[in-house]
Structure 1
């Protein structure tokens, strides 16, 4: 019996298959964070007759996790994932990935701030722990696929998997998954990508999941109460060393209490009285200085990208026109992207943008499709 249906769209002589359900009963590992999305994915796939195995990753100290609420992979979330798996009637395992997570995500997070960058740890977590290491676990279990609760769509065009934005613009998570490789994308499934969040909650209620109305996680999972500076200081003693705040012409305006407390484009909390509003326009880790200037000093139209992950067709030597997102909440800007060698690229924006920040991601789109992306190094 076939348990699926497809929407077939003819476009530019290509046939696009958007698969909503898997075509046969399969063994599927579901990454269960303890939230409503991943729990609903597990219940949905089990209801379709697939052999579902739930896996939850313990990513940081269990004692600390039990004290932290409202964040992914906290102690309560592990318990919620276990209860959901029991309700669904599937096997569930908790894997201790503390050391891997600390090295690949937490320490990278601290080091990025010390380099004057503003990192995105959720991307690093997806890139390493979840889509690299959990991917390997799913393969070792003989699974046919790894499913997650992300709001993105996996679309097959002429037999090749593409990554597209989620249908719900308020929940689209494609910006955070730009580092997904083609091999990973071929193996991954995103059953919620074509749904709205309220539809997911309704499904959770239908399946009798107690977490149907559980709030979405908002915080970085390993940062208690939003105090990331204390985490960095613990990992890298000396991170809060004082330094100078200087005007763009080199004039010293005052002192700061650690460059990790600042990000490009910041206006509030600089601690300097001035005749005009001041913004952080540069952070120099070598001199331990925070450089400030006026808002117009932030505007730039050139973005330098490193560690480019590419999922689209080959970029021609003259570059290609596309849309780039420079922050998760950025609406996108028209740009021309050219390869500059060694997995590096340059994006030239049609209009200058004031929020180009080293450590953030530049994600490249063609309409809804994610063509690839990389890390912003300088502007």
Structure 2
């Protein structure tokens, strides 16, 4: 199988991807303390998380190997947990998708959309060095990503993450040690062509046990709204595992055999996806926003870059729920 591993020691000035500030830049911005213990804690966690991904996880994309390692990880972390035993978790394992109607209050989704569409700095993880500061409609760049630290402290984001049903399904699917380990909020712009993740691919650089949670910030009623397209049941397929983009014609017979389809949603709907399955975004004909959470047992290589919030920084009405689910928020709230 394709070998992807690239173990390395990483330092305080290293960033996991474009648009994410490294430790040194966070210190300069005043969002991280610059103490010896803080530096050593960050270096230890970042090197562990980075090499967990880029040595252990990405050494091969063979699904059989990955599922074996995922079982070992669950056994080591929670040896007595019963994972994937509910009907909906079993369906998720088979189809790589679970859809939940009206999981969120549409008014809460509107609050998250308002925060993301406000004038602010935007980046693009696919284009190092790109930055747009201002209103989204003032640029025609295809993808605009919200600053992650701004996202992680947003009250609407925190309330979405604290939804009990959302947390419950993640635990059913990947175990009781499921935790929020990163998140993205982006705006897709209508540019008339497929851009980066709007081509067929697998998410290859994610933890062994992970799930992506998608929260559309506006209705996705037709293909014109840029829905996710998925070939269900392909996370276990031992073909097309190369870390690259695939063309429609490459996957034509597989799409027909497996029944590829798009995920349509109303405001407030949430869908959970194993994005190691073959999937793509589709180019929208009008501007739309998406929030996506990465929930996993092991950390992402991005996780150490999260500045932890104090519980007192969280909206008061969310504190009891977050305290009861401390393990889910262990990377975000200290």
> TM-score normalised to the size of structure 2?
0.25
Higher strand proportion (structure 1 or 2): 1
> In terms of Rg, which structure is larger?
1
Higher helix proportion (structure 1 or 2): 2
